[in-house]
Amino acid sequence: MEFLQDHSIKNELLLIFISVLLGLFIGTEREYRNKSAGLRTFILVCFGACLFTMLSIKIGVNDQDRIAANIITGIGFLGAGVIFKGDNKIEGITTATTIWATASIGMSVGSGYVYLAFLGTLLVLIVLSFLTFFEKYIDKNHKIREYKIAVTEAKFLPHCEDLFKKHQLKFIISKQQYTQGNLATTWILTGKNRNHEALMKDLREDIQIIAYQF
């Protein structure tokens, strides 16, 4: 009986160690990219999910998923904390979903499905690291930017449109603001990244453009 208890304790310690190790793998990738949630966060998320799952199985005699089910709710609050609004877009979504996925890996380890946890970790790392090539390719050929361009009069708006057409950029007007003789127009431009760079060069040299930002 004592031997079985010792063996059980060793297995539990091994599962906890594995959860810390897998959290370390994912956290290292996020830390390397200087994301808002880094190494310690992902280790603790994976370890915590693993431990809560183990406790849920041990103390939830009649309802073994009672504690484990609430991990998802807790992780939802944690993930919301790393999402914030940038200048032109919502940022932190990838980090938040990675926290969510890491919790599932910890739960897999805690419930004894170690092979699923290793597979999940591998897939997370592939998505985070190796699929950036496709992101860069899409970004290079289909870059969407929001420009705010200021001119002195509304009659110069067609001039801006001519510049966009010259550089093969699709455009739509998002909003306009008139202040003390200056008209600031926000444009949503879509096209290749090199065309955006060429446009910015023209905007800097164009005497009809007072100011621009993106």
Q: What is the pLDDT along the chain (214 residues), one digit of tens a residue?
A: 544 455 577 788 999 999 999 999 999 888 887 776 778 889 999 999 999 888 888 876 666 666 767 787 888 787 777 777 665 567 778 888 899 999 999 999 998 899 999 999 999 999 888 777 787 888 788 888 889 988 887 778 888 889 999 999 999 988 888 877 788 889 899 999 899 999 989 888 888 888 888 8
Task: Measure the CA–CA gap between 166 and 177, rounded to whole angstroms.
Answer: 25
Please give the structure tokens belonging to residue 171. 């455009």
CB 106 within 8 A of CB 47: yes
| 140-213: CATH architecture | 2-Layer Sandwich (3.30)
| Measured distance CA(196)–CA(166) in Å, rounded | 11
Q: By the 8 A CB rule, do 43 and 24 touch? A: yes
**Distance in angstroms (rounded) separating the CA atoms of residues 179 and 193:** 31
Residue owning tokens 């949630």: 37
If residue 200 lies in a helix (H) or strand (E), which one and from where to where?
A: helix 193-205
Tokens of 11: 């297995």
- How far is the C-alpha of 56 from the C-alpha of 23, rounded, in Å? 20
- pTM of the predicted protein model: 0.71
Q: What Å distances lie between residue 55 and 20, 124, 166, CA to CA?
A: 17, 26, 64
Domain ranges within the chain, ordered by starting residue: 9-130, 140-213
How big is the CA angle at 142 (ends 140 and 144), to the nearest 5 degrees? Answer: 105
Question: Which run of H or E residues covers position 10?
Answer: helix 2-32
* Per-residue confidence (pLDDT) for residue 3, from 0 to 100: 44
The H-or-E segment that residue 1 falls in is: none
For the beta carbon of residue 93, count every other beta carbon within 10 angstroms.
12
Per-residue confidence (pLDDT) for residue 4, from 0 to 100: 45
Residues 6+ apart with CB under 8 A from 140: 192, 193
